[in-house]
Structure 1
Amino acid sequence: MAVARSLRRNTTITYFLAALLLLTFLYFFLVDSTSLPSLPQSRQLLKSKDAASNPLSPPSLPFKKQDPNEVPPPPPVVHYHMNNVTTSSQPIENRESVLILTPLA
């Protein structure tokens, strides 16, 4: 079974789409990076109060690297005594938190 000649032929739209893809590729790799923040501005953002103090902190905050002479804080680990865990009938009023236990591999 031979393929129809019109399907084998390279059409103008094929060349147009290839050129568009190439230009898009070159734009993202060769664009001027002056719009990106410089390193001192980035360091200033990471030194804010909102940055995490430990690499083990939840991933919702960016991690701030410690200065060489700074003492690192302890990791954010909370120990729960499972014998003392209780619940109440009004968890929202008592501001109870949810403890999710997941196995570690």
Structure 2
Amino acid sequence: MSKKARIQQTRLEGLESEFQSLLIICLIECSKGRYGLFGQNSHLDLEDRYWKWSEAKHLRTLAADIRLERSKAGEASPLCDKFLSLCEARDSNTPGEPRLAATFLGEMRERS
């Protein structure tokens, strides 16, 4: 493995570690009733005046970065893909953010 590849792998591992720990914290908070994690109402507040949650915004950025880095290597990150798919769900039958968070958190706990 080249030095560049090792550096990229170390960076990716750091991003994934940060993502996973922040995801759990945000899912717990969201499952208690806080909106903004999945961005379901972001179209109502384009300037982030009412649903301001910098950790959730950072989490979405981390997930997108991880997905991009993994796709360059022909790999996938199931956890990031699941999170981003929930962020993109916007139809009328999509449960509210607290319910989505509780379900996702439960799925994560079952896997570990």
> Which bracket does the TM-score occupy, shorter chain normalised?
under 0.3
More helix by share: 2
Larger Rg: 1
- How does the TM-score come out when normalised to structure 2? 0.23
